[in-house]
Amino acid sequence: MLTFHNPMHHLHAPVHEFFRGEKVACFETPARAEFVLAALQAGGHELREPDQDAASALAQIHSERYLDFLRTAWPQWIALDPQNEQRQPFPSVWPVRSLRSDIEPENFVARLGLYSMDNGSPLASGTWAAARAGADAAASAAHSVMAGARAAFCLSRPPGHHAGHDFMGGYCFINNAAIAAQTMRNLEADRVAVLDVDYHHGNGTQSIFYERDDVFFASIHGDPLTEYPFYLGYADETGVGDGAGYNLNLPLPAGSDAAAWFAALERACKAIGYVHADALVVSLGLDTFEGDPISQFSLTAGDFDRLGARLAALGLPTVFVLEGGYAAAELGDNAQQVLHGFER
Can the peptide bond before residue 229 be classed as cis, meaning omega within 30 degrees of 0? yes
Tell me how far apart the alpha carbons of residues 238 and 206 are, in angstroms, rounded to a whole number. Answer: 10
Question: Beta strand pairing status for 22-25 and 16-19?
Answer: antiparallel
Choices 8-16, 146-154, 280-288, 312-320; region in contact with Zn ion by CB under 5 A: 280-288
The active-site residue out of 9, 62, 162, 201 is 162
Residue 324 touches Zn ion, criterion: CB under 5 A: yes
Q: Which of 4, 108, 128, 171 binds ligand SP5 (CB under 6 A)?
A: 171
Residue 287 touches ligand SP5, criterion: CB under 6 A: yes
Site for ligand SP5 in 189-248 (CB under 6 A): 198, 200, 228
Residue 254 touches ligand SP5, criterion: CB under 6 A: no
DSSP string for 267-280: HHHHHHHHTT-SEE
**At closest approach, how far in Å is the CB of 24 from ligand SP5?**
7
SS3 content of the chain, % helix, strand, coil (to 5): 40, 15, 45
Task: Specify whether 143 is catalytic.
Answer: no
Choices 38-46, 164-172, 176-184, 332-340; region in contact with ligand SP5 by CB under 6 A: 164-172
Residue 14 touches ligand SP5, criterion: CB under 6 A: no
Contact 170, 118 (CB under 8 A): yes
Q: What does the CA dihedral 309, 266, 319, 304 come to, rounded to 10 degrees?
A: -50
Q: Which residue's Cβ has the minimum distance to ligand SP5?
A: 324
| Site track for Zn ion across 286-315, x = CB under 5 A | -x----------------------------
What's the maximum distance between 2 C-alpha atoms anywhere in the chain? 56
Q: Which of 118, 136, 198, 223 binds Zn ion (CB under 5 A)?
A: 198
Tell me how far apart the alpha carbons of residues 100 and 301 are, in angstroms, rounded to a whole number. Answer: 47
Q: Which residue's Cβ has the minimum distance to Zn ion?
A: 324
Q: Is 92 exposed, middle or buried (0-12, 13-18, 19+ CB in 10 A)?
A: exposed
Binding-site ranges for Zn ion (CB under 5 A) = 198-200, 285, 287, 324
Active site members: 162
Give the residues lining the site for ligand SP5 (CB under 6 A).
Answer: 19, 120, 159, 162, 170-172, 198, 200, 228, 285, 287, 294, 323-324
